[in-house]
Amino acid sequence: MNHIELLTPAGWTDYELIDSGDFEKLERFGRYVTARPEPQAIWHKSLPEAEWRRLADATFRRDARSEERGEWQLRPGMPGQWWVEYGYKKMRLRMRLGLTSFKHVGLFPEQAGNWNYIYDRVSALGPGASVLNLFAYTGGATLAAAAAGAAVTHVDSVKQVVSWARGNMEASGLAGVRWIVDDALKFVRREVKRGRRYDGIILDPPAYGRGPDGERWILEQQIGELLEACAQLLDPEHGFLVFNLYSMGFSAVLAKGIANQLFGPCDDEQMGELYFPDRAGKALPLGIYYRFSR
C-alpha cells in the first residue's frame, strides 16, 4: 500500500473530541472534560466560549514564563486522577489519567488504532512473541501487545512514567512486561551488541527529550541511527514495525522512505495520519504513522 490512510479509532465510548479550534481542543475522557492547547487546531471553534467554560471540568493555562509548562484550573469535584477503559476484540485495557504540568493527561487516544494493529499482529505471531516498545510512556501499546500474549520490553527514560505504566498493566490484569528506565538510543545499541531479536518494534519518539542521565534526544539528528539499530533487532522474516511521529513538518512519506531504506521494502505496509473528528466534523490531525509486517 502506497497511499495515505486517515486513521481514527471507532467505538471508544470513554473518549470523545467535542470541539477544536483557536489552538485548543475540548475532550471528554470518561466522565470528565478537559480543555487544553492544541497547535494544529488552526480553525475557529464551533462552540461558543461560554459552552467551553460550561463543559470543561479542567482547563489548562500556560505559564507566561514557559513555552511548555502551565497549570490546570479545576472545577469543584474534579479529581487529579481518574480511570478510563478501552476494548477491542478480547482486549480490555484500564488506564489511569492524571493532570500534568505539561498539559498531558497520560494518554494519547489517537494511538488506539495502533493498539488494535499491535494486538492483531501479536495474535497472528502467537503467544510469547517478543515486542520492544521504545519511548513507551504510560504503556498503551505495551498493554495491547501484552493482552495478545507478547513478552514486552517497555523502555522509557522517566522512572515515574514507567511506574505509571506498570500501574496500568496491573489494573488491566496483565503481566509479562520487562520494565526498563533508560535512554532509548543507548538501550538499542546495547541490544544490538547482545545479538537480541524482537518480533515487533514500536517507536513513538518525541521531537525533543532527555534521557535519565541528561542525554539529549533531537529527532532530526538521531532518528536515523535509532532506526538503523532497530533494523538489526527486528526479526527479518516475521517482524512488524509501528513508527509514529508527532513533530510538525514530518510526513508519512518521509517515515516510509527512511524505514524502507533501513528495513528494506515490505509487502504489507500502511501509512497515514492519526486524527479525531470533533462533533462539528472538523478532522484534527494528531500525528503520522507508518507500519509494516513481514
What CATH code is carried by the domain that includes residue 236? 3.40.50.150
pLDDT at 96 over 70: yes
**DSSP code for 3:** S
Q: What pLDDT shows up at residue 248?
A: 63
Calpha distance 121→118 (Å, rounded) = 5
What average pLDDT does range 193-203 have in this prediction? 98
**pTM score:** 0.95
**Structural domains in the chain (count):** 2
Q: Residue 121 domain-assigned?
A: yes
Q: Are residues 181 and 280 in the same domain?
A: yes
Q: Which of 83-87, 168-172, 261-265, 270-274 has the lowest mean pLDDT?
A: 261-265
Q: Which of 24-33, 69-78, 215-224 has the lowest mean pLDDT?
A: 215-224
pLDDT at 156 over 80: yes
In the block, which residue shows the cell 516510509?
A: 256
Residues sharing a CB contact under 8 Å with residue 261, sequence separation 6 or more, in sequence order: none
276 or 215: which carries more pLDDT confidence? 276
Residue (of 284, 243, 236) closest to 42 by Cα position: 284
Q: Are residues 112 and 158 in the same domain?
A: yes
Mean pLDDT for all residues in the chain:
94
Q: Residue 171 domain-assigned?
A: yes
Calpha distance 40→19 (Å, rounded) = 13
Q: What pLDDT shows up at residue 2?
A: 64
Q: What pLDDT shows up at residue 267?
A: 76
Q: Which of 17-31, 185-199, 203-217 has the lowest mean pLDDT?
A: 203-217
Residue type, 91: M
Q: Residue 87 domain-assigned?
A: no
What average pLDDT does range 189-206 have in this prediction? 96
Q: Residue 241 domain-assigned?
A: yes
Q: Are residues 151 and 64 in the same domain?
A: no
Boundary residue ending a domain (25, 47, 81): 81
Residue (of 81, 62, 82) closest to 72 by Cα position: 62
pLDDT tens figures, 233-281: 999 999 999 999 986 678 899 999 999 999 987 879 999 999 999 999 9
Q: What pLDDT shows up at residue 217?
A: 79
Q: Are residues 128 and 186 in the same domain?
A: yes
Q: What pLDDT shows up at residue 219?
A: 81
Q: Are residues 162 and 208 in the same domain?
A: yes
Query: Which CATH number goes with the domain that contains 69?
Result: 2.60.40.1180
pLDDT at 67 over 90: no
Decide: residue 175, CB within 10 A, 0-12 exposed, 13-18 middle, 19+ buried: exposed
Q: Are residues 117 and 224 in the same domain?
A: yes
Q: Are residues 215 and 256 in the same domain?
A: yes
Q: What pLDDT shows up at residue 188?
A: 97
CA angle 215–220–223, rounded 5-degree value = 70
pLDDT at 57 over 70: yes
Strand partners, 146: none
Q: Residue 90 domain-assigned?
A: no
Q: Are residues 19 and 147 in the same domain?
A: no
Yes or no: say if 96 and 171 are a contact pair by the CB < 8 Å rule: yes
Q: Which three cell numbers stand for residue 134?
A: 521504545
Domain ranges, residue 214: 106-293
Boundary residue ending a domain (81, 114, 130): 81
Q: Are residues 141 and 278 in the same domain?
A: yes
Q: Residue 218 domain-assigned?
A: yes
Q: Are residues 184 and 256 in the same domain?
A: yes
Q: What pLDDT shows up at residue 11?
A: 87
Q: Are residues 254 and 289 in the same domain?
A: yes
pLDDT at 1 over 60: no
